[in-house]
């Protein structure tokens, strides 16, 4: 069973930046959809961003548009989440997840039920 591996989390001051990485060892991420979810204290898990390279599409939650950028490195079988202008609302555990490529992905990318591979999560804390 594939286990995605996240890295890059940590403690950052408000206004700072972090880049998260998601790597797979046995599945090819460029042929699948990959998303980042986060679970903040006291809140439900929410979809933050996703990429479907086969469709040439990226997706962002309204709360992160203009601040986060998702991208992929085919050579390293890795997906990145560049996070800028971080604030306390961005604090949480960030999970990488991968879903099979489907035609309707764009309409349902926030649905966690689509994703059959998940990572263990990486903590992001935004605090002064």
Give pLDDT, residue 56.
86
- Our CA angle for 44, 49, 51, nearest 5°, is 140
Number of Cβ atoms within 10 Å of the Cβ of 103: 7
76 exposure class (CB count in 10 Å sphere: 0-12, 13-18, 19+): exposed
Give pLDDT, residue 20.
98
Give pLDDT, residue 43.
93
Give pLDDT, residue 19.
98
C-alpha–C-alpha distance, residues 13 and 94, integer Å? 17
C-alpha–C-alpha distance, residues 68 and 85, integer Å? 9
C-alpha–C-alpha distance, residues 103 and 36, integer Å? 19
Give pLDDT, residue 62.
97
Give pLDDT, residue 67.
98
Answer whether 46's CB lies under 8 Å from 89's CB.
no
pLDDT (tens, 9 = 90+) of the chain, 128 residues, equals 778 999 999 999 999 999 999 999 999 999 999 999 999 989 999 999 999 988 789 999 999 999 999 999 878 899 999 999 999 999 999 999 999 988 889 899 999 999 999 999 999 999 99
Give pLDDT, residue 91.
97
Give pLDDT, residue 74.
76
C-alpha–C-alpha distance, residues 68 and 113, integer Å? 23
Cα first-last separation, the chain: 39
């Amino acid at each position: 069973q594939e286990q995605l591996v996240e890295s890059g989390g940590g403690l950052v001051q408000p206004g700072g930046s972090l880049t998260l990485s998601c790597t797979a060892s046995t599945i090819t991420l460029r042929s699948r959809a990959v998303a980042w979810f986060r679970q903040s204290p006291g809140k439900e898990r929410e979809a933050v961003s996703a990429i479907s390279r086969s469709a040439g599409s990226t997706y962002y939650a309204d709360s992160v548009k203009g601040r986060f950028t998702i991208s992929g490195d085919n050579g390293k079988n890795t997906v990145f989440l560049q996070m800028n202008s971080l604030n306390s609302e961005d604090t949480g555990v960030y999970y990488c997840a991968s879903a099979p490529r489907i035609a309707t992905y764009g309409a349902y990318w926030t649905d966690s039920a689509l994703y059959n591979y998940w990572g263990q999560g990486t903590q992001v804390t935004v605090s002064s």
